[in-house]
Amino acid sequence: MSQKKISFTLKELSKTIDASITGDENIIISNIATIQEANTDSISFLSNKKYLRFLNTTKAAAVIIDSNLETNSSVNLLKCSDPYLAYAKISSLFVNKENKLETPSIHKSASISSSADVSKLSFVSANVIIEENVVIEEGVYIGPNSFIGPNCYLKKGCKINANCSLVQDVTLGEFSSVHFGSVLGSDGFGYAPSKTGYQKIEQLGGLIIGDNVEIGSSCTIDRGALGDTQIHDGVKLDNQVHIAHNVSLGKNSAIAACCAIAGSTLIGKNLQMGGLSGILGHLSICDDVSIGAHTLVTKNIDNPGNYVGIMPTQEQKDWAKSSIFIKKRG
């Protein structure tokens, strides 16, 4: 079945992002593309000055730019205060709504405990397992082959994609989403050393995830040992992020791929972590902290700001000289 083509006039798009128009307000836009790859049906955006050189050569029907940017380009323009945010808002308009699941249903192959409370207005896919004392509210979507363990609570409108596991005692907030292959609420890494090896510490807490949280593919978030691991409202996690037991991650934090946070660390609001970064356990991080890529945080951060702990790429001989200098200064 062919998909219905999505299109808007430039005037319609301008109202969505509260932008002024320079050029033809009636031109038709049917897709979004980068400024280099756009065609005559595309709208693009310019939020990074590195790409300014493409503004005069782009084939785009229109480009979203900063209101303060002066240009002689002949392309149609939408001018606003934040082009990147405007692009984000417009992107939602081009999602094919025909692919959305509108009819609630429970697949005949799903296995659901008799003690589970599953809303008739939810969508449960093939081969899903739902164990005892699970509560699933209306508008929840659970993708194929996913596992929802004991005592989980899935609130209104949340979405769990295929092959995910909510192991036990996980609360997923309203309109939150979990991407493919993530594992939430598994055992934390807790062992007491002894002369004969390691004694496992049973993980008796839960995992509470707030509203409007988005968790990328192949992420792992452990439930608490005593008390709960907490992921607060609005948090965004990229793929392959690990969060250990009893971490509290503050509201509207954003973490890029392959980061890890060790156990019992308390993090304030609006944390930003670049890829491949790490935070050691039992630390305290204040609000409004940005951590650069490949940085290891080893002590508390009490003041908002940008923190970086890695040298840029350089030839090996230059790196060796820099290392000697740092050691001497230390």
Tell me: the pLDDT tens digits for 278-325? 999 999 999 999 999 999 999 999 999 999 987 777 788 887 777 777
Confidence of residue 101 (pLDDT cuts 50, 70, 90): low
Q: Just list the catalytic residues.
A: 245
Structural fold of domain 164-307: UDP N-Acetylglucosamine Acyltransferase; domain 1 (2.160.10)
User: Is 109 exposed, middle or buried, given 0-12, 13-18 or 19+ CB atoms closer than 10 A?
Assistant: exposed
Q: What is the pLDDT of residue 319?
A: 75
Tokens (6 digits) for 329: 């200064």
Q: What is the pLDDT of residue 97?
A: 63
Structural fold of domain 8-98: 3.40.1390
Q: Which helix (H) or strand (E) covers residue 66, if one does?
A: strand 62-66
Q: How many residues does the chain have?
A: 330
Domain spans of the chain, in order of start: 8-98, 164-307
Would the pLDDT of 3 be above 80?
Answer: no
Give the pLDDT confidence of 211-266 residue by residue, as tens digits. Answer: 999 999 999 999 999 999 999 999 999 999 999 999 999 999 999 999 999 999 99
Confidence of residue 1 (pLDDT cuts 50, 70, 90): very low
